[in-house]
């Protein structure tokens, strides 16, 4: 069984500069064809300060924290038995190239199903920009299969 005493634990935060080149690359990789994700002028005409962050890109930035899997080990998870269960995003305001985003994460739930055969861990992350404005809430669920 996973260490349920870790529910509520705050994880070390990190900050990341959003770079325009990475946004263009990501948009191309996901097949996004709207020019607002690749052309600064088109983004500004659409009302953005710069290239906007494409949907789901914040998940990639969240993984840029030092040792991104350390929190799983903290819980006693067996990395060979885990699956990505779910990812949710709630957007409050756009993030754009040039922003410095800060990720503050917390373990919010640990539960089991199927008489303990599956354990679920939820980590919630609040993303803020350099002005301290609330940008996005992320929820990340990992499932551990128990033998």
Residue-range domain boundaries for the chain = 4-19+52-145
- SS3 of the chain: helix, strand, coil, percent, to 5: 25, 35, 40
Q: What is the pLDDT, as a whole number, of residue 128?
A: 98
pTM of the predicted model as reported, rounded to 2 decimal places: 0.91
Architecture of domain 4-19+52-145: Roll (3.10)
Residue 139's pLDDT band (cuts 50, 70, 90) = very high
Q: What is the pLDDT, as a whole number, of residue 24?
A: 96
Q: Does residue 69 register a pLDDT over 90?
A: no
Distance CA 34, CA 37 (A): 6
Q: Does residue 44 register a pLDDT over 90?
A: yes
Q: Does residue 147 register a pLDDT over 90?
A: no
Q: How far is CA 65 from CA 102, 104, 110, in A?
A: 10, 10, 22
């Amino acid at each position: 069984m996973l260490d349920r005493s870790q529910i509520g634990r705050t994880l070390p935060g990190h900050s990341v500069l959003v770079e325009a080149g990475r946004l263009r690359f990501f948009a191309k990789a996901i097949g996004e064809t709207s020019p607002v994700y690749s052309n600064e002028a088109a983004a500004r005409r659409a009302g953005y300060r710069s290239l906007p962050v494409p949907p789901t890109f914040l998940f990639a930035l969240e993984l840029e924290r030092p040792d991104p899997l350390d929190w799983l080990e903290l819980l006693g998870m067996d990395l060979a038995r885990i699956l990505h269960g779910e990812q949710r995003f709630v957007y409050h305001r756009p993030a754009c190239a040039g922003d410095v985003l800060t990720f503050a994460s917390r373990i919010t739930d640990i539960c089991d199903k199927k008489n303990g055969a599956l354990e679920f861990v939820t980590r919630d992350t609040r993303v803020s920009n350099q002005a301290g404005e609330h940008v996005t809430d992320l929820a990340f669920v990992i499932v551990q299969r128990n033998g």
